[in-house]
């Protein structure tokens, strides 16, 4: 009688294990890839700057961020309170104890492209009295282009011709007016890629 009970119990456990295993495999199969955009935000709390880092197809936002995180970020923290299926943020531990912001975030979205495979960029002419003051946008326009550098170079004419160019990546670039004792106001042209959230 005991042997029969043991045999039945084993059969039930094995069948349950097979069912659970098949359910897990089924979940893995149904886990689909989505397109995520990844952003890097850094700087002072008042004037933190967000730069587009990349677009990637993967299964989740944390996986998307991990593709772009620098090597020194192994001890960075995932914000579980704001994490969802399509959004996540990974923060530097120093951000919790200082007024310096440094994080990478990912959310479901995509870049805009035309028939020529060009990207859509926002061009802004900006001034800022000092590091802590608010940035003032004097003029802006949206332009199709191959990358941020190419779009920015088209703007460097006339009085902007000698402004030094700072290229962050193919999605973001700036040209800054050299500061002089007569005029310490920061003036710059900012070119940043435009994306849409899904």
| pLDDT tens-digit readout, 142-193 | 999 999 999 999 999 999 999 999 999 999 999 999 988 878 889 999 999 9
Sign of the alpha-carbon torsion through 47, 42, 194, 142: positive
Burial of 104 per CB tally in 10 Å (0-12, 13-18, 19+): buried
Closest CA to 185 of 174, 193, 177: 177
Kindly state the greatest CA–CA separation across the chain. 100
pLDDT bucket at 78, cuts 50 / 70 / 90: very high
pLDDT on residue 160: 95
Contact 41, 101 (CB under 8 A): yes
CA 119 to chain centre: 16
User: Percent of the chain beyond pLDDT 90?
Assistant: 65
Inter-CA distances, 100 with 88, 139, 162, Å: 19, 29, 32
How much is the pLDDT for 30? 61
């Amino acid at each position: 009688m005991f042997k029969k009970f043991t045999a039945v119990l084993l059969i039930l456990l094995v069948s349950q294990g097979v069912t659970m295993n098949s359910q897990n495999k089924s979940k893995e199969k149904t886990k689909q890839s989505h397109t995520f955009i990844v952003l890097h935000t850094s700087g002072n709390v008042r004037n933190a700057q967000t730069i587009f880092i990349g677009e990637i197809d993967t299964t989740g936002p944390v996986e998307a961020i991990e593709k772009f995180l620098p090597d020194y970020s192994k001890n960075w923290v995932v914000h579980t309170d704001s994490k969802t299926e399509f959004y996540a943020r990974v923060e530097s531990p120093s951000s919790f104890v200082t007024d310096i912001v440094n994080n990478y975030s990912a959310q479901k979205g995509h870049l805009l492209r035309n028939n020529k495979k060009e990207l859509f960029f926002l061009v802004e002419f900006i001034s800022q009295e000092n590091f802590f003051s608010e940035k003032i946008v004097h003029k802006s326009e949206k332009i199709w282009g191959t990358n941020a550098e190419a779009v920015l170079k088209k703007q460097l004419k006339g009085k902007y011709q000698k402004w030094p160019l700072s290229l962050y990546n193919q999605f973001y670039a700036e040209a800054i007016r050299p500061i002089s004792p007569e005029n310490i106001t920061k003036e710059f042209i900012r070119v940043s890629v435009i994306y849409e959230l899904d």
